[in-house]
Amino acid sequence: MTLCIFGAGGHAVSVWDAARTQYDDIFFLAHTAPAVGGARLCGRPVFVGEDPLAPGVPPFDALFVAVGDNAARLALTKAVMARALHVPVLVHAAAYVSPLAQLGPGTCVLPQAAVNAGARLGAACVVNTGAVAEHECVLGDGVHLAPRAALGGGCVLGEGVWIGIGASVIQGTAIGAWSVVAAGAAVTRALPARCLAAGVPATVKKFYGET
Ligand SMILES: CC(C)(COP(=O)(O)OP(=O)(O)OC[C@H]1O[C@@H](n2cnc3c(N)ncnc32)[C@H](O)[C@@H]1OP(=O)(O)O)[C@@H](O)C(=O)NCCC(=O)NCCS
């Protein structure tokens, strides 16, 4: 089985690491060649282009969008799925995902992360290294839990939410779509959409405009 990873930045390297035990062959496709290494990344070839079905791009069985930006990753994943290409779920061999959890296409779970029973994650989510989505959490599409971020049980995160490195969200808390929780924050109450919350306990610092 061959996997095409779309992207060639830092997140793409992490995705390769999660995928390498599950695919016989992996290559990258990116808008531009990586700054370091040029035509190869993780020892695998990097093809430059935007269309995975363009002439010159090798055939593949599945395509995974590995772009760090939540909005871009979600939009690209939807575009790939609209072309009926197979978008897998990737779980690193050293992660834990409960058999009672659900993960949407294009979602990855990286080493030492845990997704516990009854959690439901949408498409194109990232559960980064050591992050925890406790029991019965519900994550919309395009959510990113950064390394060591932790959600208590039953949290509900809207589309595109980004929980920064080491931040915590107490159980049962709702966070509105496209909000950002800054690194190290402790969220103790519900947050509206499109806000930045930071600090311990977290308070709303500002709102982001529509894009
Ligand atoms: C929140 C973050 C994204 C910055 O977003 P931003 O929109 O550029 O925010 P700003 O820098 O304008 O900061 C707005 C306010 O929040 C404060 N703030 C930002 N990050 C903060 C943090 N981690 N803790 C406490 N306060 C923070 C700023 O000091 C500023 O406060 P002020 O208005 O009193 O001066 C960034 O600070 C952060 O925490 N990134 C997370 C990194 C991460 O998890 N990476 C994962 C890679 S895999």
Same domain flag for 153 and 110: yes
Average pLDDT, the chain: 96
Question: What pLDDT does 34 receive?
Answer: 75
Task: Specify whether the CB–CB gap between 149 and 168 falls below 8 A.
Answer: yes
Question: What pLDDT does 211 receive?
Answer: 60
The full DSSP string for 125-168 is -EE-TT-EE-TT-EE-TT-EE-TT-EE-TT-EE-TT-EEPTT-E
Number of helices followed by number of strands (H, E) in the chain = 2, 24
Over residues 146-154, mean pLDDT: 98
Cis peptide before 201 (omega within 30 of 0): yes
Question: What pLDDT does 35 receive?
Answer: 74
Using DSSP, state whether 87 is helix, strand or coil.
coil
Using DSSP, state whether 114 is helix, strand or coil.
strand
Over residues 186-195, mean pLDDT: 98
Same domain flag for 96 and 200: yes
183 CA → ligand 1 middle, Å: 7
Distance CA 20, CA 12 (A): 12
Question: What pLDDT does 33 receive?
Answer: 78
Question: CATH number of the domain that 49 lies in?
Answer: 3.40.50.20
Instruction: Return the residue whose CA atom lies nearest to atom 2 of ligand 1.
Output: 182
Same domain flag for 97 and 153: yes
What DSSP character marks residue 18?
Answer: H
Number of domains in the chain: 2
Domain of residue 31, residue span: 2-67
Q: Is the pTM of this model over 0.95?
A: yes
Question: What pLDDT does 74 receive?
Answer: 98
pLDDT in tens, 11-68: 999 999 999 999 999 999 999 877 776 789 999 999 999 999 999 999 999 999 999 9
pLDDT in tens, 109-124: 999 999 999 999 999 9
**Predicted confidence band at 10 (pLDDT cuts at 50, 70, 90)?**
very high
Residue 76 lies in a domain: no
Same domain flag for 52 and 115: no
Same domain flag for 191 and 143: yes
Question: What pLDDT does 202 receive?
Answer: 98
60 CA → ligand 1 middle, Å: 39
If one residue of 205, 206, 208 were mutated to test the ligand 1 pocket, choosing by the most ligand atoms within 8 A of its CB, it would be 205
Close Cβ partners of 69 (under 8 Å, ≥ 6 residues apart): none
Same domain flag for 48 and 102: no
196 CA → ligand 1 middle, Å: 8
